Copies of this chain bind each other. A is one copy, B any other.
């Protein structure tokens, strides 16, 4: 009771102190994005519990008593995929009164980006089953998960233009075409090939590895890697602004 009564001392005396200590729970949801050469995917779990048992939903879990929020989000990811050390971003907190049928639940939404090749489904208490879904399949989710998903995808769209986070979704060595397809998938528009290459190379943080793609039935592409150190030196203070013309974009 000690914690409770102390918190209540700090509360407004206009209200009954107990009003501020109602039954509630808080959770994190972590929207996990992956990219598989062609499409942007999201990892959904099949719920093993009521409510909405057996429906596909965003992965999430309660935050433990002695656990920070970011840690909880990382734990959800790690338990589900075994992947650690990823790009993680807190997006928005959802706490409408009626959003959970069983009571007041506040959910802090994160997204994270992983290399889909690193993914290996783990036996996990969080989910019965997990699977990658195309973005277009992500609708009709339970709770307010459609809204949460939209907020996270939206944030990703904004961030991709200002931070070098695309590389988190690609293997360490990638071709410029793969990178372009990734940008196109996130931004949901086709980009002009020459302008894309000119722009991204002019930013000067990609290193040409002088290696060629193998095992493709056409002219092999050069492989590049992202130079994080160089990025830091060049852009740490000012940041960048990636904006390339979609193909056949009409001028006003």
Contact = CB atoms under 8 A, between A and B. Distances in A.
Contacts of A67: 97
A13 B128 CA distance: 12
A21 B9 CA distance: 21
A20 to B, nearest CB: 4
B108 A93 contact: yes
A15 B13 CA distance: 36
Contacts of A95: 26, 63, 68-69, 108
Contacts of A15: 62, 64, 125
Contacts of A24: 24, 26, 65
Interface residues of A, number: 46
Residue among A9, A13, A14, A104 facing the most chain B CB atoms (10 A cut-off): A104
A52 to B, nearest CB: 9
Contacts of A49: 9-11
| Interface residues of chain A: helix, strand, loop or mixed (majority) | loop
A26 B23 contact: no
Contacts of A61: 12
Given A14-B125, A95-B108, A65 B19 contact: yes
B93 A7 contact: no
A62 B11 contact: yes
Interface in A1-56: 3-4, 6-7, 9-15, 19-26, 49-51
A23 B50 contact: no
A113 to B, nearest CB: 19
Given A62-B11, A65-B19, A125-B12, A26 B102 contact: no
24 contacts: A3-B23, A3-B102, A3-B103, A3-B104, A7-B23, A7-B103, A9-B49, A10-B102, A12-B62, A13-B125, A14-B125, A15-B62, A15-B125, A19-B64, A20-B62, A24-B24, A26-B26, A69-B93, A90-B92, A90-B93, A93-B93, A93-B108, A95-B108, A106-B108
